[in-house]
Amino acid sequence: MCLCFVHCPVEWGMVDWESLTKIVQSIFTSSGILVGGIWAYFKFLRGRVYKPRMELNVVCLPYLQKDHLVLLHVKVELKNVGLSKIKIDRCCSAIRIHRILKLKNQDLLKEKALESNWKHIGSFPLFKEHEWIEPSEVIRDEKILEFTNDQFAFKIEAIVMSEAQQWYSSSISLAKISNFD
């Protein structure tokens, strides 16, 4: 084997460049896979899974009473679909109750379709027994509210607050659907 580059440049140079190319290619491929894996971990797993994610659902069931009263059964369900524990801000989480404002006949004659107007009639605390919600946990809160029979449509809004985010859900219910005996 030759010890100097001057006497055998073709043989020693070909093997050296070919090996060097394979080594460099292997290093770039390995580092590319490593950087891509780290990026995917932070982008998709850590960035999405550990973010606060919850599903909030509101259901209203009205019952007509005999004494011109309407009982409104409000069910609120909160499910933590993420993988992080979320602290609930109990002083800011609430349900808000609205009743529909009746339209005047002259308004109906002018327009073919009108969006309903709502009047806020009350707010109530929500999830006051819960300080936090664990991953995959479902918590529920229920309220029974009483109204006079002349209020026939209600809008219930649920708002849940945490340190960094808020979740909102609403439901509209007609009061003269079923009887409660």
User: Residue ranges of the alpha helices (H) in 41-146?
Assistant: 105-110
**Model confidence over 21-70: pLDDT tens digits?**
889 999 999 999 999 988 887 776 665 556 778 899 999 888 877 777 88
pLDDT in tens, 4-35: 555 555 455 455 778 888 899 999 999 999 99
Q: Count Cα atoms within 13 angstroms, Cβ side, for 107.
A: 9
Rounded to whole angstroms, the Cα distance separating 96 from 98 reads: 7
Which residue stretches of the chain are H helix?
A: 9-40, 105-110
The DSSP letter of residue 114 is -
Name the phi and psi angles at 39, rounded to 5: -60, -45
Q: What is the pLDDT of residue 123?
A: 94
Query: Which residue has tokens 């985010």?
Result: 165
- Element containing residue 13 per DSSP (H, E): helix 9-40
72: confidence class by pLDDT, cuts 50, 70, 90: confident
